Amino acid sequence: MTGRTTLTIVLAAGEGTRMRSSLPKVLHPVAGQSLLAHVLAAAPKGDGAALAVVVGPDHQAVADEARLARPEAGIHVQAERLGTAHAVMAARAALAQGCDDLLIAFGDTPLISAATFARLRAPLAAGAGLAVLGFRAADPTGYGRLVMDGDRLTAIREQADASAAERAITLCNAGVMAFDGRIALQVLERIGNANSKGEYYLTDAVGIVRALGHDVVVVETDEDEVRGINTKAQLAQAEQVMQARLRQAALDAGVTLIAPDTVFLSADTTFGRDVVVEPNVVFGAGVSVGDGAVIHAFSYLEKAAIGARALVGPFARLRPGTSLGEGAKVGNFVETKAATIEAGAKVNHLTYIGDTHVGAGANIGAGTITCNYDGFDKYKTIIGKGAFVGSNSSLVAPVRIGDGAYIGSGSVITSDVADDALAIGRGRQTAREGWARHFREAKAAAKALRK
């Protein structure tokens, strides 16, 4: 980007006790992705960009998530939680490699953008020793206050150490900082723990960089971008901000959202051109929607690929591993899982299609169920192209329905059906002429006698 090398250190060793959850704080999801994954996605990438993540002891799951999001990330363990500067030093090995710019970010601020990281680095290229990301807090309680002398930052005062006058300052430290990489290590090494909490505060870097004769500047951003998540209420707030962003991005990209506020998106949802999404649709992680597809109201989709001009719902549930071909239809009260439904195939009503391949142009009648599970294992159903499955049939897997085959309604199909064959697996219908009339007459006569 600027031709400068950068090391980003993401601090994720928080305990997150105020979440009241057994899940580590940074693994909580916002828009279908962990807090940590959001931060890692925004961190600089590409040539000359290195990444280090600091995790707490016994936080293998956090390390795994970091590697999933950014396989090249180095993982460093902070054995004891002694403050933000101490946490940065846990990645000393990465720091020792040297870099032009050192970025520090927190794993619990998921709304930060790549553009803001770039904006924060810019003053370094112009010669500053340290750039601090600041924001105007609606309620500054708990944040470090930015103490300014004109437009120069003189200190960051933590809530616990601030005077009454300093507490009145609303310009706050977002926690994200960018250091000139050539001085970063010597600055960090000088940070002590002489404060009310006995912690190594990263914020003390301000005074040290200034004492070394370098400029310290503040780059401002919007509060919504730097909300730190410590509680479930803050998590919900972040979700709201993220959803608003994702909806706006979808609208900007040309998606028709009839009632945007009722549609829930994931950070990785992708849309083609001329897609229509009706009200009250939920997109879990991993959904792509092709050109001209329509997602009707009250549908729920996860890890699903929707082909061009496919129609989904209303009231459809597409579970992980669903793939709909061009113009395929999945209608109301249909559940699919690990199902490939090829072009033009229709599954219109009240059906479960699991572990199944449905060939192009096949028609699956109302109430069809693939019986894919015996309580221990899952089995596959293959339905050939152009096949017609009559309503209310049970397809007991493993089973294969041939191309162009017909299944009589109400069948229980337990054996493979050849191409172009008709299979019927149900009791044969019998009829008794006049039976109903005789029955009614006999009953009525018996009732009359009892009176």
Q: Which residues bind Mg ion (CB under 5 A)?
A: 228
Contact with ligand UD1 (CB under 6 A) among 44, 83, 290, 354: 83
If the CB atoms of residues 159 and 332 are measured against Mg ion, the closer one turns out to be: 159
How many chain residues interact with ligand UD1 (CB under 6 A)?
Answer: 27
Residue 78 partner contact from ligand UD1, Mg ion, none using kind-dependent CB cut-offs of 5 to 8 Å: ligand UD1
| 24 near ligand UD1, rule: CB under 6 A | no
If the CB atoms of residues 146 and 383 are measured against ligand UD1, the closer one turns out to be: 146
53-82 binders of ligand UD1 (CB under 6 A): 54, 78, 81-82
Contact with ligand UD1 (CB under 6 A) among 37, 132, 202, 318: 202
If the CB atoms of residues 144 and 331 are measured against Mg ion, the closer one turns out to be: 144
Query: Which of these ranges, 11-19, 233-241, 336-344, 428-436, lies near ligand UD1 under the rule CB under 6 A?
Result: 11-19
| 272 near ligand UD1, rule: CB under 6 A | no
Q: What is the 3-state secondary structure (H, E, C) of the chain?
A: CCCCCEEEEEEECCCCHHHCCCCCHHHCEECCEEHHHHHHHHCCCCCCEEEEEEECCCCHHHHHHHHHHCCCCEEEECCCCCCHHHHHHCCHHHHCCCCCEEEEEECCCCCCCHHHHHHHHHHHHCCCCEEEEEEECCCCCCCCEEEEECCEEEEEECHHHCCHHHHCCCEEEEEEEEEEHHHHHHHHHHCCCCCCCCCCCHHHHHHHHHHCCCCEEEEEECHHHCCCCCCHHHHHHHHHHHHHHHHHHHHHCCCEECCHHHCECCCCCEECCCCEECCCCEECCCCEECCCCEECCCCEECCEEECCCCEECCCEEECCCEEECCCCEEEEEEEEEEEEECCCCEEEEEEEEEEEEECCCCEECCCCEEECECCCCECCEEECCCCEECCCCEEECCEEECCCCEECCCCEECCCECCCCEECCCCCCCCCCCHHHHHHHHHHHHHHHHC
Residue 202 partner contact from ligand UD1, Mg ion, none using kind-dependent CB cut-offs of 5 to 8 Å: ligand UD1
Active-site amino acid positions: 349
Contact with ligand UD1 (CB under 6 A) among 162, 172, 304, 310: 172
| 245 near ligand UD1, rule: CB under 6 A | no
Contact with ligand UD1 (CB under 6 A) among 203, 299, 351, 368: 203
* Binding-site ranges for ligand UD1 (CB under 6 A): 11-14, 54, 78, 81-84, 86-87, 106-108, 143-144, 156, 158, 172-175, 201-203, 228
